[in-house]
Chains A and B, each alone.
Chain A
Amino acid sequence: MSAESFDLPLPPEPPPKVSRIGWLDWVRKNLFNSVFNGTLTAVLTAGLLLLILAVLRFVFSPDRRWEVMPPNAANYVVEAYPREDLFNMWLSLWIVAALAGFSTASWGMRGQVSVIKVVAAVRAIGATALVVGVLSLWSPAGSATQTVLVFGGVALFGVGVGAMRLVREEREVSVARVLAIVGALLVGLVWYMPLESGTTWPLTITALVVAAFHWVGKLVGQWLSDRLMKRVVTILWVLSFPVIYLHIQRNPSLVWEEVTSWLPWAGLLIAAGPAVIWIVSRAGREQAAGVNFLLGAVAIYSWVIQWPMAIRVLFLLLTLFSLATPTFAASPRARRAFYWTWLAGGVCTLYLFLAGIGSTDLATRGHFLGGINLTILLAVGGTALSFPLGVMLALGRTSSMPIFRILSIVYIEVVRGVPLITVLFFGDKVIPRFLPPGLDFAGEAKALLAITAFSAAYLAENVRGGLQAVSKGQTEASRALGMTTAQMTMLITLPQALRVVIPALVGQAIALFKDTSLVAIIGLADFLRVARDIVPNQPDSLGSILENLLLAALVYWIFAFSFSRASLRLEKRLGVGTR
């Protein structure tokens, strides 16, 4: 069945030559090809120029007080978070940085980018800086920034043009290296900016952590298969949420005398777990029962004589694992997985005890999160939590079971018919009434719940559209192969449905990100409120509201824009082979 080639009468011809035209020709052909178009081009260009000039005049006006921003960095980022506990915040940032660095080693960072593209980017940045700098000279007063813009622009543009002449042939450089250079430049910027004292080093450490863990990820990646590596990365990310939560909301302060009394024993117990599992899996029925009985007895006894809580819980866990061994560790492969499950579970338990002991709840001091942190928590948490909920609602709505279907439809239609502000108020005022008196969630948690509940309804409708786009033949084929409904949904229908709706889901995530600014209405201080309300009321930055609003707009835009670019990449990568 190989393709044979026959001597057909006509040989293939080379493709037609493309005539390259200069930019002047291009302008003439596309912008000034008729009187009407020429006029339109001229008018619009003039309008655009005036707009840019107006913006620049605003930005570079001597009345603007941009210098009030760097000292307020902590307000923008964490707002009311107790400054003496700020280390928790940095630790959380480093955890995220470590995971990000680790992940980049396994996700598409092996890519190469053409040198010409990099040089062209440098040239474009230089040109933009130069143009902005020159245009800003029409503003009333000059400043150091303008000088930097003009000279920096000239320098970058010159370097770009020069390098473009040198780089003739196609050469590639790794994306990681380009990002490393950009990162180094950003760190340099951090040291140059007059930030609040005590932030330069932690920020530098963040960059170093990313680089170090990128390298660690690369090393680990040589050991593990791609699939395993991806699984590890996913598990680590999921685990990072409770860890970060613990560190931000509670302040773990260890009492070392207490900890050292049980920590070695707990470690020993965790290390001994695999041996117990091994013995039980090898032993006969009676011996295994004997081991289980012994473990159970010790576990109960430990409760009676009040050993440290961590030891008691670990013994109980080990008994459960030992009881489950015959079911879960039948084959050598399953046994290995079971060892790892035990070790991971043991370490997690240990961590919870370590972090939980003697910790103080920061939430009791009123609201504790604010600024960009709160915005990101609500956006990321809301998206992550509403995703499974929304998918479940979509499946419920398309389910053949009437109870699920009716409940889903009622939920979706009720929530979609109500504005987000109403849901936020509902969460803030009504949820406490369902809780026992005196108990209340933190405002942040209530806002997160409300946003999740709201977003899930919309997400469900998007996913339902995707589910309907999956052809009937797909379900028939999976049924004909003997799959259960659950297998069909998880392996065939949902993956295809989600792929179709990625653009809609990203659009919704961006909308959610911007909608988080509404939480100001129930008294939380998200980034927009900090910029609009709090920073302009600080004694050192009184009345700097216009500057702050512009900053807020810029920050929101940067986040939303990078999000939509990332989604484009995701679409391209997942779109492989689909129609």
Chain B
Amino acid sequence: MENGAANPIIVCENVKKWFGDFQALRGVTTSVEEGEVVVVIGPSGSGKSTFIRCINRLEQHQEGRIVVAGIELTSDVRNIERIRSEVGMVFQQFNLFPHLTVMQNITLAQVWVRKRSRSDAEQRAMALLERVGIPEQAAKYPGQLSGGQQQRVAIARSLAMDPKIMLFDEPTSALDPEMIKEVLEVMQELAGTGMTIVAVTHEMGFAREVANRIVLFDEGQIVEEGPPSEFFANPRHPRTKMFLSQILSH
């Protein structure tokens, strides 16, 4: 499924990762183009979360190569911090800082990591809150917001660092059905602006409509990948057929 395009922003070559004796990644090779939206799906325990957490080194791969925005992930701390400020990440459990207001959540890393002045950071934060649709919540604490609002703040917090790549690790799995839509809308708008996105999600509607490519993980390997139209219409691998029949049957 190599499309041979010129500008890969993430390159993974034969990435392997073990947790003790358990092998979570068994040689993953793929690349992501700039501006591409990749949705990673797969059964639980298939290594999809581990894979995207390896991209900003929240997990450390043990064999193979990962190059992000031209920087290779080695154990050099400076490299890691540089990559992390280029790669935004949104978590399943939001992970907002509960002791800070929404505004402080979004400005903190801008001031300390990006070295912006406080007023610049606040302006940027307000613009982003506007963009995710909750400017009126700026002064509240995360505990006072609904799950959907918290996740949108988390997205704004990542975007404030002007990342080149956004990683989403099951961003809607901890949300009530009514709130999933508001988060997906924000993600869809983001994809429309040309942001490179790698998202682990179970939202097949989102995958079908927004993704450029879908990647199916199983047992630590990529089983099949391809554009959504092909992937859903004629899956080639029997594992893909079984997975799709299970999630689409009801």
Contacts and interface: CB of A to CB of B under 8 A. Distances in A.
A and B together in one complex = yes
Contact of A483 (B89, B113, B158, B182): B113
Given A481-B109, A481-B158, A579 B98 contact: yes
A487 to B, nearest CB: 5
A577 B95 contact: no
Contact of A577 (B84, B89, B140, B154): B140
Interface stretch (B67-75, B141-149, B203-211): B141-149
Contacts of B58: 476, 479-480
Contacts of B98: 496, 577-579
Contacts of B81: 482, 484
Contacts of B88: 480
A481 B140 contact: no
A477 B99 contact: no
B144 to A, nearest CB: 6
A484 B109 CA distance: 10
A113 interface: no
A225 to B, nearest CB: 12
Interface in A458-501: 471, 473-474, 476-484, 487, 491-492, 495-496, 499
B195 interface: no
A495 B100 CA distance: 10
Interface string B64-92: 00000000000000000110110111010
Q: Which of A478, A480, A577 counts the most chain B CB atoms within 10 A?
A: A480
Interface residues of B, number: 33
B12 interface: no
Interface string B94-109: 0111110100000011
Given A481-B113, A483-B113, A484-B81, A577 B157 contact: no
Q: Which of A473, A481, A483, A576 counts the most chain B CB atoms within 10 A?
A: A481
B164 to A, nearest CB: 13
B112 interface: yes
B150 to A, nearest CB: 12
A471 B97 CA distance: 10
Nearest to B92: A473
B112 A491 contact: yes
A1 B84 CA distance: 32
B112 A476 contact: no
A552 B58 CA distance: 57
B182 A1 contact: yes
A362 B23 CA distance: 71
B31 interface: no
Given A481-B84, A482-B161, A476 B108 contact: no
Interface in A520-579: 576-579
B103 to A, nearest CB: 12
B45 interface: no
Given A481-B109, A577-B142, A473 B95 contact: yes
Contact of B91 (A477, A496, A578): A477
B112 A483 contact: yes
B192 interface: no
Contacts, number: 74
A499 B100 CA distance: 12
Interface string B53-69: 00010100000000000
Contact of B113 (A473, A477, A487): A487
Given A481-B157, A577-B144, A476 B95 contact: yes
Nearest to B85: A482
Contacts of B157: 481
A491 B141 contact: no
A576 B87 CA distance: 31
Nearest to B93: A473
B82 to A, nearest CB: 8
Contacts of B143: 577-579
B89 A480 contact: yes
Contacts of A480: 56, 58, 84, 87-89, 91, 158
Interface residues of A, number: 23
A482 B99 contact: no
A331 to B, nearest CB: 9
Contacts of B141: 576-578
Q: Which of B97, B144, B157 counts the most chain A CB atoms within 10 A?
A: B97
Interface string A61-96: 000000000000000000000000000000000000
A480 B160 CA distance: 13
A473 B91 CA distance: 8
A571 to B, nearest CB: 13
B97 A477 contact: yes
Nearest to B114: A482
Contacts of A491: 108, 112
B199 to A, nearest CB: 15
A481 B144 contact: no
B85 A477 contact: no
A476 to B, nearest CB: 6
Contacts of A579: 98, 143
A481 B111 CA distance: 11
Interface in B150-206: 154, 157-158, 161, 182
Contact of B99 (A478, A481, A496): A496
B43 interface: no
A487 B113 CA distance: 9
A477 B95 contact: yes
Contacts of A487: 112-113
Contacts of A499: 99
B220 to A, nearest CB: 21
A492 B97 contact: yes
B56 A578 contact: no
A342 to B, nearest CB: 23
Nearest to B134: A1
A479 B89 CA distance: 10
Contacts of A496: 97-99
A193 to B, nearest CB: 47
A402 to B, nearest CB: 18
A313 B124 CA distance: 46
A474 B157 CA distance: 13
Contacts of B93: 473
A166 to B, nearest CB: 40
A150 to B, nearest CB: 52
Contacts of B142: 577
A1 B139 CA distance: 19
18 contacts: A1-B133, A1-B134, A476-B91, A476-B95, A477-B154, A478-B97, A479-B58, A481-B108, A481-B113, A481-B158, A482-B81, A482-B113, A482-B161, A484-B81, A496-B99, A577-B98, A577-B140, A578-B141
Interface of B: 56, 58, 81-82, 84-85, 87-89, 91, 93, 95-99, 101, 108-109, 112-113, 133-134, 140-144, 154, 157-158, 161, 182
Q: Which 5 A-B pairs have the closest CB atoms?
A: A577-B141, A482-B85, A477-B95, A473-B95, A481-B109
Given A477-B95, A481-B108, A495-B99, 18 more contacts: A474-B97, A476-B95, A477-B89, A477-B91, A478-B97, A478-B109, A479-B84, A480-B56, A480-B91, A481-B113, A481-B161, A487-B112, A492-B97, A577-B140, A577-B143, A578-B98, A578-B143, A579-B143
